[in-house]
Each structure stands twice: as structure tokens, then as C-alpha cells.
Structure 1
Amino acid sequence: MVGFFPTPYPNELLYSTLARFHIRSGNISPKATIEELFGSRSVTTVVDLPANIDSLISNLPIGSAYTAENLIMENTLYPFYSAFLPPERAKSILQSMKGNSGGSIHNRIGVMASTIAENRYIRMCKECATESLKKYGEVYWVRSHQIPGIIICSKHKTLLYNSKVLVHHFNKNEFVPATVDNCNLTEEHKTSKNIEDAIESEFIPNYIQVVDNVDKLLNNRYSNKPPEWFFSQYIERLKLMGLANINGSVKQKELREQFLEFYGENLLTIVQSSITNNESCWLSMMVRKPRKTVHPIRHLLMIQFLGIMLEDLWNEENEYLPFGKSPFPCLNAGADHYLQPVITEVSIRYDSKIKRPVGTFSCSCGFVYARKGPDSSEDDRYKVGRVKEFGEVWKSKLKELFQMNLSMREIARRLKVDVNTVKKYGQNLGETEVELGYKRKDNLINKDSFRNEWLDLQKRYPEKSKTELRKVNSGLYTWLYRNDREWLNSNSPKKKQITMVNNRVDWDKRDVETHESVKGIVEEILNSPNKPERVTISRVGKKVDKLSLLEKHLFKLPQTNEYLLQHIESVRDFQIRRIKWAIKECQREGYDVQWWRVSRVAGIRGEWIEELEVEFERISSIIS
């Protein structure tokens, strides 16, 4: 049992507190400190997700108020990494941190499988360190600075820097405290141009909210939810943004474009969350049914993009309501409850042709109407797109208005419909203006006058077809159709013969034309003095404005296909061409041709750095 234990500073890592204990204990051997704190010499020091916390608590001074769970929640990165885990797994990892099963924690929490790499060095904020030194007389390791993908201090909004202390120290049993020396407080910090550009870019305000949300995850206890909960929340919000249809199918291309526009490619690269067109891209995977653990920083990037408040993500379930909440108003002008919110039955489907949701609203009075969504204002709730069923209540009102001897126009006005609708449904009632208008007062029918009128109509409109003439005088046509159909058919314009046009594609001709266009673009790309672009089918297709043709019908264009196969570039070929261009640029600017400068100008990074350095040496020797 130890005789004392340092009080953790605000937002201090437990690792840092134990390192300060080591200094104050006077122990020369790190293992002696380990044994004093944990009762065992085999405990390994871990910066982010330490274990054996129960053993530590049992060795604290008598009367200590600390608990294992409090230290884990307030002084480790567990709240951040566990926030988006299923409840069972989060609880299991918490128990492992309390106990002595720390060997598999990073694997089970998803850190090992993530493409976001752990920080190599413990990170610090110069402003925070200076304030700590002034207030406490010493510096310490701040836990919110150690989140991979976070490059800004949430308190001062300044860049974080690497200290001299490795996250995975060569001595696995040693706690290394923060000092003025290993925090580089007296040195001038240098940053890469990419990071400087990202900090000064227009996208940084969106990213700062992500940084602030990291602090919220660390300092608040959110109840764990299953992965399906977050997936559902994201999909519902994407529907509201028009980036997913009513069925939950995400418009991947539009999503990637808007996500890049929101954060900027440079910033996403720096936080190890670049977006690609690959189906296995992390952004695409997040909006498919959850099968893998996603790094919390990417959840936070998605949340900020979707405009979801962090607190609401756990407490309020998003629901896509393109027409608002029920009940909905009945738009049956023939019913006593007209415009009153009485409809609770609505079915919503996605129309792939118009790419919009369509709602069908059914009232108990029999009136059924449909309209397109989503609603953009409250007034949209009172608009009818199409009436599917008028119902018996509406028809009864129509009959009542006919018995009042009102005009067609007045009936249509009262029922909020078109005059033609009144005619159509009035015919079924037996007494419509269509029929009455063509009856003589003495109820004697003059068939010849109707025939002459139909013939005169054709003389006035010689170019119109039978159907078009019907629209000009529907009443006349209706009477003749019902009472003199044989004569009507014999004395109407004949059906026009439709001449079929051969629209078959001449693929040989198209192949020649496309080949010439493609060839010109490829030569333009390869000979351009500007920064190189990779020759790919998609890039060439976009430049010649024939992307769909090349993607879907290239097999029908053998000449074009053969040319593209000879000239499209692999990633390696493209990187080598970029190196050659960068060498020429350095020579043109008068710089020494050195690998670090060439790789920076060419934009070579990641796994290609070492492999292409050999290629650079070969090219340089040939040029020199």
C-alpha cells in the first residue's frame, strides 16, 4: 500500500498521474514503482487504456475516495473509445480495465483494426503546458490531446505538437512524466505546410465542433447503444438532407461530394479519414448495415456533417417525416370535417422516376388523395396532388348540389375540383350539363345538326386528330358517341400512320469518333505542363463528356478499348510520372533535386514513400 497518491489535475491522463507519483516516490527503479502501485512487477504501462485498476485502488492510502470506475471514466480514453460500442462489449472492456485482462483491450475496442493509426508520440498543447506550469509549477499529459485524428486543442484552438515521449515506450514498465524538456516548451515548433493550410482553411470551423465533441464524449457518460441505433439515426438524417430515399438507399456519390465540400480533402487527409470512390471507403461503410466497428472520430465527423447535436444522438430518435406528423387534414370539400386534422392513415413510398417520396392519405369518409413530398412549408399539408378516390360522402354532396340546379362552374368551385371532374362524376348521376346542353327544350333531338357541327369542327381544325377534336368540344363528341357512334367513326379523321425511324447506333462510326476524342484527351493529359493527372477511364470519360458510354459500352468500341488499355495508368505508373514532373519543377525553380523536396512537390505520401525513393534514385541518375 502506498503512503500517498497525487491528486489528478483537470483532464489529466491516469498515466500522467502515476508518472508524477513515480517522481515523488523517490524510486530509482520503474519496476519498484509498478510493484508499489499494483502489487506486481509484471504490469505494463499503457497511455490510453490501462488495466489492473482494481489492483491500483486496493493499494491506495486508507480512506482514499477514488474508485476504479471513476479513474477509468475521468482519467483514461475509455469514454471516447467506448461511446459507440454495443453495451455488452463496452461493459466487458470496462471490466477488463478494472481487472488484469489488458492484453486484448485494444483489439476488442477496435483500435487495432482501424485505419486511423495511433499517435506515435504523446501530444501536448503549448498553451496548456504554459498555463499548467504557471498554475501548478509543473506540466502534465492532457488526455484529450491524445485522441488520434485530433490536431487542435479544444481549449485554445491551437495546434497540438508531438512531445519527445513515445506512446509505446521502449521500457514497458516505466511511467514517463511530462517535463519542460520533453514537451519542447523552449523550442520553436514547425508544422508541415499541409497542416498549416488546413488550419487556415475555410473548413476548420466545421472541424472545431468535432474537436469540442471529443471533450463532450470524454466528460459525459452517454448510455451505450447498439450499432443499429446510430446507423438508423444517420440514415434518417440523410433522408431529410435528400441524400437517401424513403427506402434508406443512400446516394453514395452525392454523399461523398457533399462530405468533401463540408470538410475539404486536405483536412480529411490530415485526420486520416480521406474519402475515395471505393465501395469499401469508410464513409460508404458507415451508411450500410453495421458489420464493423467504426473509429469514434469518424462517427464525430459524420455527426457534425449531418448537423446532429451530440446530446440528441443518444436521447432523441430521428424519424424521417417528409409530410410532418399525423393527423393530416382531410381535403374533401364535400365533408363536414373539411380541412380538419382527422387522417391518421398514410402510406409513403419512394418514386424512383421523380426521386421524391409520395404520400397517400386515406380518410374514413372515403376520400383518398396523394401528393409529392417532402413538405417545405405548413401550407403544403393543404395541397392535393391527385385524388385517388372521392368516396361516397363527396359523391353524395355532388348529387345534392345537382339537385339545387347550380351551374357546373359553381359546383366545381364549392367542391374544390375541376369542371371536367364534375361532368365526369355527374354523368353517373343521370342529369349533367353535358347531356342537358344538347337537348332541345321540347326534348326532340336534331341528329343532323350534331353531325353538321362535328363536320364543321373538322373544317376549322383540319390538322387535329379525332382525340384532339374531342377535347375541343367534349359534349358534342359524347352525344355522338352515345347516340350515333357508327356515323361518328366513319366521319372522323383517320388515324395517322406513324413512320418508324431507325435509331440504331452505328457502333463502328461511334468507335472511330470516340477513339479520336479519347486519343486527344489522353495526349493532352500526358503532355500537360501542369500538375499531372492520372489517366483513367473515368477521368478521360468526364473530359470527353462520354463517361457513361465508356463505363457501360466500352466493349462495343474495340478500337477505343484497345487504345485505353494501352494508355491507362496504374497507381505506380502515375506516381513515377509525378516524380518525373516534380524533378523538372524543382530544376525549373532552381532547387536542389532532393527526395524530400520532390516527394512533397509530387504529393507522394503514405506507403509509396519508401518504394518510390528507389525509383527516384534511378530516374535522377538517368537525368544527371
Structure 2
Amino acid sequence: MMNFLPIIYDDEILFSVISRYKQMCGMVSKQALEEDLFNQRRNMNTSVLFPQEINTLVQNFPPNSQVTVREVIINQTLYPFYTAFLSEQRSEEIYRGMAKGHGKGFVNLLGIAGSKIKTNDLLKFCPSCLHDDMEHLGESYWRRLHQIPGALYCIKHQVSLRNSKIIITDSRVDFYCADEDVCPDQNEENIYPPIIQDLNLTYIRNASFLLSENQKRKDLTFIINFYIDQLREKGFASKVGSVYIKELLEAFVQFYPSQYLELMQSSIDVDKETNWVRLFIRNNNKNRSPLRHLLFMQFLGIDVKELFEVETVTGKQTIQHERAPHLELDKKRKEWLKLIQDNLGASRSKLKNIGKALHTWLYVNDRPWYDKVTPIEIVKRKRKESIDWEKRDNECLLLANKAVEMLMKKEGKPIRIIPSNIRRVIGVRRWFHHKKLVKTGKYLKEITEDLESYRIRKINWAIDELKQQEGSITVYKIQLYAGFGGSNRESKQLIEKVLIKVDLLKENQ
């Protein structure tokens, strides 16, 4: 049983609460901590973002605690976000899984396992929140809203979120508090254009509503019918609810910059029959990511609250049309053929603009004939330019060299020279490890700093810093200043070796 329960902060994830409890108790062993919380020593199967067996945890809260299982699941996990667009039945099943435990297959219930939308590999933090927390609370914590997929900014400070050092995709990860040791001090400015910031802040505001305010649920059929109604109202669907998919896709990719869609893991190839927008508005039983629901509603100009406040929807309709008289039909066809002849080479959209009323009449009453005689504009796609890999390899090698120089010259606690840190300085993704970048790959392999060398560099830095600040140094002071902790035997032995070498150097000078 827990001796006490730390104050639970606003929007704090459960992992953060447990991490602060562990630190306050001075506990070193993760296994011992889990025994206190879950009554058994075990390797937890749950991830950082989706904890399970919360019933047992709450039972082990102090006797005077008033916190309930429901409060933990609703307020300290991502349950409200990931179940927002699921039926009440599925949401309840997931709730029971979190409360009682559902094993390794739990992510299948959430629809994450097969989803194209992946969670971030590392916990995210806002440097301004970290600074404010330290100043006003004396500690900081991990926030739920920062961890939702697609969150690029802090809604409060409107600054870019940063990656911490805490990997959340590994179920074996220990419990770490949000502090300067795991939240690197990187003075990066906003790296995205203003339009991306504006789009993302709107997205996060809608996501915040799902996390903090909404507990209503709608089934998928209702949601799809709601979308059809909105598309009809915006002119992207007919009266009966048939979607004008070409016009919809064109408007969608004009609304969202391609860079933003890539950042949101939702890129679109308008020519591909299986692009996600085409599939999104079909009434099937496949799970859709909350991220894409929010993207779609933002495109339609809908506040997410509207969906959950609507009581009735129409969706697709079946309307019986009376067959137009043959003479009238023949007259309309001749008029349309003449319009095509008078505007040779014009696209369908241009013909539609020239003869709007005629186009609408034929489209509704004589669609098969209209499709047969009306020309379709064929857009030739430009061939992508081939990449000069040798040139790119040389450019990347130069960037990697400069990044290493910057890391080595950076003031403050040393940063380990490894490929991920080099990429972070340059601001590139994993394409930097492409197999055709031969020179760059060889350089990254050669320059990678082994762990002991990095620790020695940190120790030497700590020695120099302490000498300037205090004059006298001890092994214990060096351990703490370098960030090893005061009880790490391995680091203590390494520090003693370094100190011996330092003294020998002095004697030989």
C-alpha cells in the first residue's frame, strides 16, 4: 500500500503521478514500487500512456484517499481521447480493460495496433511549462495533452513541444519525473510556418475538449451520417447524400498544406483509390483514428462539440425521381452536346460553370448519359526528378560534421555523440540513415561515442565546473553534478579512475 498520495496536478498522466511518488519515497527498485502499487513483483505489460489494473492501484491508495477508479481513468489517462469516436459498448469494454487488466492485446481494443497513426516514441514536454512548474510548484509533471498524436504545440504557451529522453514504446521503461535531467534544454524557435501553428492549435483545442469535457458517445453510423449532412450543406454531396469525392479531395488538399498532413501522419494521394479520405466517409466498421476525425471536422469548419450535441442526423437518402418526358430529355441532351462542341477542350468543372442549370438537370436526371458524353480532363503527373545520391551524401556528411562540432562546443552538460542527437541538431528524420548515403553512414558509425567515453567526458566537465564554482571537489559532488546520482557504484569507480589520471597529468606538467 502507498504511504501517501502526491497532489495530482491538472491534466497529469498516471505515469507522472507514480514517478513523483517514487521520487518522494526515494525508491530505487521499480519492482519494489510495483509490488507496493499492484501487490506483486512483475514486468508491467501496459505502456506509459495506457495503464491497466487501475482497480488494484486505487485499492492501494492511502485509506484517506477519495480518488476513484473512474476519476483516474477519465482524468489521468488518454482513455477519453481514444474512445471519443467509439460506441458506448466498445468504450465500456476498454474501460473495463483498463480497470481490471486486459494483457498485451489491449491496444487491439483501442484500435492502435493496426492504425496508420502511431503514438510518439518519446514523452513530450513544453519547456515553458517546465520552467513555470519549477518556479511555482518546485517540480514539473507530464501532461496528457502534450502526448496526444499530432500535438506539435503547447496550447498554453503556443511554443513547440520537445521530445524528452523517456521512451514510451518500451513496456520495461522505469518511472521518471519530468525534470531537467530527462527534458533537454534546447533553445529551438518555432520550426514550422505560421499556418501550421494555427492549424495545429485549433486541432489541440478540439482534442482538449475530448480529453477534459466530453463523455458522450456516438456510434459510427451516426457519425458518418453526420458527416454526410455536413458535406451536403457545404456543397460536397448531393441531396441524396452522394459525395462529390473529386471536389472534396481537391478542397481538402487545398485547405491543408502537404507538410502539415505529413506531420499529422495523414498524407493524401488524390489519385489513389484507397486514400484515407475516400475510405473515411464510407459506412464500414473499421476504426478511424481520433486524429483524423478532428482533421476532417476542422476542414469542414465544425467545432467538435457540434457532433456530440446533435440528436438526429439524416445521412444518405433514397429519392424517387419521375422520369423526364422524352422530348424534354432529348432537348436537354442536344443543348449539352452543343455546349461541349462550343467549348472543345474544356474540363468538366469548366463546362459545369458555363451551363450550371443544364449541368445540374442532366446530372440528376440523366447521369449515365452525362458521364458517357462529357469529357474527362486527364492530368499528366510530372515525373519526379531523380536524386543525385552522391551529391546528397556529401551534403549530409557536411551537415553531420557541423552538428558534431556544435554538440562538442555546446555549453553546459555534455550531450552524447550518437546518430539520434546528430539528427536532432540538424533537424532531420530517419531518412538521414538511408543506405545510399554511404559516406554519411560510415561517418556516423565511426563518430558514435561509446557510453564509457561519454561518461568520462561528463565527469571531466563536472570536475572543471565544480573547481570554478567551489574550488574543492569530491567523488560524491561529481556524481551528483554529472547526473549519475549519489548511489551509482559503477559511476563512482569511473570517477575515481578519472581523478587519478587528472592528478597524474598535474604531476607530469
TM-score (norm 2): 0.65
One-letter amino acid matched to 2:245: Q
Q: In the alignment, is residue 244 of structure 1 matched against residue 261 of structure 2?
A: no
**For the Cα contact (< 8 Å) 2:389–2:436, is it kept in 1?**
no
Q: In the alignment, is residue 18 of structure 1 matched against residue 11 of structure 2?
A: no
Give 3-state SS (helix, strand or coil) of 1:164's partner: strand
Matches within 5 A, 1:46-195: 46-169=47-170, 171-172=172-173, 174-184=174-184, 187-190=185-188
Matches within 5 A, 1:192-203: 196-198=191-193, 200-201=194-195, 203=196
Q: Deviations over 1:233-258 (max 9, x none)?
A: 11110111111122322222221221
Instruction: Report deviation, 1:63.
Output: 2.6
Matches within 5 A, 1:377-388: none
**For the Cα contact (< 8 Å) 1:34–1:40, is it kept in 2?**
yes
**For the Cα contact (< 8 Å) 2:206–2:304, is it kept in 1?**
yes
* Equivalent-residue separation in structure 2 for 1:102 and 1:94 (angstroms): 13
Of 575, 578, 587, 2:387 maps to 578
- Residues 99, 586 of structure 1: alpha-carbon distance in 2 compared, 3 angstrom cutoff: closer
Matches within 5 A, 1:323-362: none
Of 296, 299, 313, 1:302 maps to 296
Q: Deviations over 1:446-476 (max 9, x none)?
A: xxxxxxxxxxxxxxxxxxxxxxxxxxxxxxx
**For the Cα contact (< 8 Å) 2:47–2:171, is it kept in 1?**
no
- Residues 594, 74 of structure 1: alpha-carbon distance in 2 compared, 3 angstrom cutoff: closer
Give 3-state SS (helix, strand or coil) of 1:196's partner: coil
**For the Cα contact (< 8 Å) 1:2–1:36, is it kept in 2?**
yes
Give 3-state SS (helix, strand or coil) of 2:200's partner: helix
RCO higher in structure (CA 8 A, sep ≥6):
2
Match of 2:212 in 1: 219
* Equivalent-residue separation in structure 1 for 2:391 and 2:241 (angstroms): 45
Match of 1:274 in 2: 267
Matched pairs, number:
370
Taking every aligned residue pair, what percent have the same amino acid on both sides?
30
Instruction: Determine which structure has more spread, i.e. the larger CA radius of gyration.
Output: 1
**For the Cα contact (< 8 Å) 1:154–1:215, is it kept in 2?**
no
Matches within 5 A, 1:410-421: none
Q: In the alignment, is residue 287 of structure 1 matched against residue 281 of structure 2?
A: yes
Matches within 5 A, 1:460-539: none
Give 3-state SS (helix, strand or coil) of 2:123's partner: strand
- Residues 586, 56 of structure 1: alpha-carbon distance in 2 compared, 3 angstrom cutoff: closer
- Residues 218, 164 of structure 1: alpha-carbon distance in 2 compared, 3 angstrom cutoff: same
* Equivalent-residue separation in structure 2 for 1:614 and 1:285 (angstroms): 40
Give 3-state SS (helix, strand or coil) of 1:163's partner: strand
Give 3-state SS (helix, strand or coil) of 1:132's partner: helix
* Equivalent-residue separation in structure 2 for 1:66 and 1:316 (angstroms): 32
Q: In the alignment, is residue 232 of structure 1 matched against residue 225 of structure 2?
A: yes
Match of 1:477 in 2: none
Q: What is the root-mean-square deviation in Å for CA atoms of aligned residues?
A: 3.8
Instruction: Report deviation, 1:318.
Output: 6.5
Match of 2:506 in 1: none
Report which of the two has the higher share of strand. Answer: 1
- Residues 197, 145 of structure 1: alpha-carbon distance in 2 compared, 3 angstrom cutoff: closer
Q: Deviations over 1:395-421 (max 9, x none)?
A: xxxxxxxxxxxxxxxxxxxxxxxxxxx
Match of 2:370 in 1: none
* Equivalent-residue separation in structure 2 for 1:188 and 1:593 (angstroms): 18
Gaps of 5+ in 2: 329-340, 342-374, 404-422, 442-509
Q: Deviations over 1:414-439 (max 9, x none)?
A: xxxxxxxxxxxxxxxxxxxxxxxxxx
- Residues 550, 111 of structure 1: alpha-carbon distance in 2 compared, 3 angstrom cutoff: closer
**For the Cα contact (< 8 Å) 1:595–1:616, is it kept in 2?**
no
Give 3-state SS (helix, strand or coil) of 1:123's partner: strand
Give 3-state SS (helix, strand or coil) of 2:180's partner: coil
One-letter amino acid matched to 2:223: F
**For the Cα contact (< 8 Å) 2:389–2:437, is it kept in 1?**
no
Q: Deviations over 1:502-532 (max 9, x none)?
A: x9xxxxxxxxxxxxxxxxxxxxxxxxxxxxx
**For the Cα contact (< 8 Å) 1:81–1:109, is it kept in 2?**
yes
- Residues 51, 182 of structure 1: alpha-carbon distance in 2 compared, 3 angstrom cutoff: same
Instruction: Report deviation, 1:51.
Output: 0.1
Instruction: Report deviation, 1:35.
Output: 0.4
- Residues 304, 262 of structure 1: alpha-carbon distance in 2 compared, 3 angstrom cutoff: same
